[in-house]
Amino acid sequence: MKNSASDADVARVEEYVRREGYEPHTIRGEVRTVVAAVGDEVEHASLESLESLPTVEKVMPVQKGYKLIARDTHPETVNVDVGGVEIGGAGFTVIAGPCAVESQEQMEVVASKVKASGAAILRGGAFKPRTSPYDFQGLQEEGLNILRKTKEKFGIPIVTEVVREGDVEKISAIADMLQIGARNSSNFALLETAADTGKPVLLKRGMAQSVREWLLAAEYLVKRGNRNVVLCERGIRTFESATRNTLDLSAVVLAKQECSLPVFVDPSHAAGRVDLIIPLAKAAVAVGADGLLVEVHPCPEEARSDPGQQLNPDQFNDLMRAIKPYIDLAK
Ligand code: PEP
Ligand code: MN
C-alpha cells in the first residue's frame, strides 16, 4: 500500500483479495502496510488490476507461472523418448542434419555420415520458415517423403519443423519429434496443436524471448498433457554483428535450474559461422546441456539455406571427437 493509505483503503484491498479466492494477511510496518495474498496464482485470477487503485503502490507476484515444469515441484529431469532415443538421462544426445531437406541423396549421405560419427537423431527441415518470402521454403510434402524413406533406410529417429498448424498432422505422421522454431515459439495455437499430437517437441527459444517467456511457452505444451518437451537455446538477437545471434549460455543454466525439462544448445544458428561451432559445443557440454542440435550438410557451399553455418561431415566428426572428453568430464 502507499504511505497515504487509510485503514479503509487497506480493508478494501483485503476484500478484493478475498473475493478473488486468496486469503489476505496484512502486515503493518512502521511506515507501510503490505497485504500478502495467500493462494495459488496459477489457479486464481491475477491481482495485477489492484495496481489501478490510487492507494496501491505495487502488486508483486511471487509464483513463476510455470508450475507444471518447475524444478521446485519436479526435481528430477524429465526423460524424453524420441523414437527409442532417450533425452535427459545420463547421456548426451546429438541431433544432426542439414538445415533443409534438399534431395534423397543429400539426406542419405548425411544420415550415414552423422550416424557413423555418433549422432542419435537426424534433423532436416521440409517446411522452412524463411526470413524472405523469395527464399527457398523447403521441399514440403516431397521433403517429408524423403525424410520417411531416410528414416526407414537408416533406422534413425527424425526431428523436423512444424511451421503451420494445418501441417502438424501430416508431419507428425512421419516425424519422431516436432521442432517449433525460434520464429514460432510464441505462437501458442501452434504450440497447442503440436502438443496435442503427443509427439516429443523440441522448443527453440525465440530470438527475443526472455527465459521466463520461453519457459511459459514450454508450460503451454505441458499443460496440454504432453511432458515430452526439450528446450533448445539457439542464440538471441543482440547488437553484436560478428555472429548471427548471441549464444546465451546463462539461459541454458537458468533453464536447467528453473525447470525439469532437458535443455539443448544449437550452436549453428547461434554462431551462424562454422569456425565457432566446436568451441561453443564444448561450452554447451560444460554448462550442463543435455544435448546439441548441429547443422550438417554433405556440401555446405551448395546448401539452399544457411550455407555459412553448416558443417561438412568431416567437420561434424571432428566435433564429436572434440566434445567427447567434455562429456566424460561432465559425468
Ligand atoms: C532451423 O533449425 O533450421 C531453424 C530455422 O532454426 P531457428 O528456428 O532456431 O532459427
Ligand atoms: Mn537452419
Q: Which pLDDT value is given to residue 206?
A: 98
Three cell numbers, residue 106: 543429400
Looking at the DSSP bridge assignments, the partners of residue 159 are 123, 177
The pLDDT of residue 65 is 86
Average pLDDT in the 214-241 region?
A: 98
The residue nearest atom 1 of ligand 1, judged by CA position, is 99
- What was the pLDDT predicted at 278? 98
DSSP string, 63-110: S-S-TTTBTTT--SPPPEEETTEEESSSS-EEEEE-SB---HHHHHHH
Counted residue by residue, the chain has a size of: 331
- Which residues neighbour 304 within 8 Å (Cβ) at sequence distance 6 or greater? 100, 102, 136
Number of other residues whose CB lies within 10 A of the CB of residue 315 = 16
How many angstroms does the Cα of residue 269 sit away from the middle of ligand 2?
A: 6
User: Could you give the CA distance from residue 225 to residue 201 in angstroms, rounded to a whole number?
Assistant: 12
Q: What is the arithmetic mean of pLDDT over 209-230?
A: 98
Using a pLDDT cut of 70, give the percent of the chain over it: 100
How big is the CA angle at 273 (ends 99 and 163), to the nearest 5 degrees?
30
Residues 261, 106 contacting (CB under 8 angstroms):
no
Residue for grid cell 543482440: 238
The beta-carbon contacts of 171-174 under 8 Å, at least 24 apart in sequence, are 171/126, 171/127, 171/144, 172/197, 172/199, 174/144, 174/147, 174/148
Span from the CA of 116 to the centroid of ligand 1 (angstroms): 24
Q: Whose CA is nearest to atom 6 of ligand 1?
A: 181
Q: At 137, list the grid cell.
A: 521454403
Q: How far does residue 181's CA lie from ligand 1's centre (Å)?
A: 5
State how beta strands 291-295 and 158-161 pair. unpaired
Is the pLDDT at 24 greater than 90, yes or no?
yes
Q: Which are the contacts of 180, defined by CB distance < 8 A and separation ≥ 6?
A: 161, 162, 187, 190, 191, 194, 201, 202, 203, 204
Quick: pLDDT tens for 185-214: 999 999 999 999 999 999 999 999 999 999
Report the candidate in 152, 116, 161 with the shortest Cα–Cα distance to residue 266: 161
Residue 54, all three cell numbers: 490510487
Q: What are 242's three cell numbers?
A: 560478428
Across the range 38-57, mean pLDDT stands at: 87
- Residue-wise pLDDT tens digits, 126-174: 999 999 999 999 999 999 999 999 999 999 999 999 999 999 999 999 9
3-state secondary structure labels for all residues of 126-155: CCCCCCCCCCCCCCCHHHHHHHHHHHHHHC
Q: Whose CA is nearest to atom 9 of ligand 1?
A: 182
pLDDT value of residue 43: 76
Does residue 232 contact residue 185 with C-beta atoms inside 8 Å? Answer: no
Considering every ligand atom, which ligand is closest to the CA of 270? Answer: 1
Verdict on whether the full-model pTM lies above 0.85:
yes
Helix residue ranges, H only, the chain: 7-19, 104-117, 141-154, 168-172, 188-196, 211-223, 249-258, 267-271, 277-286, 313-330
Our mutation pick for probing the ligand 1 site, out of 179, 244, 264, counting the most ligand atoms within 8 A of Cβ, is 179
Find the 134 Cα to ligand 1 centroid distance in Å: 17
The pLDDT score that the predictor gives to residue 330 is 86
User: Which atom, in ligand 1's list, is nearest to the CA of 232?
Assistant: 9
pLDDT at 62: 84
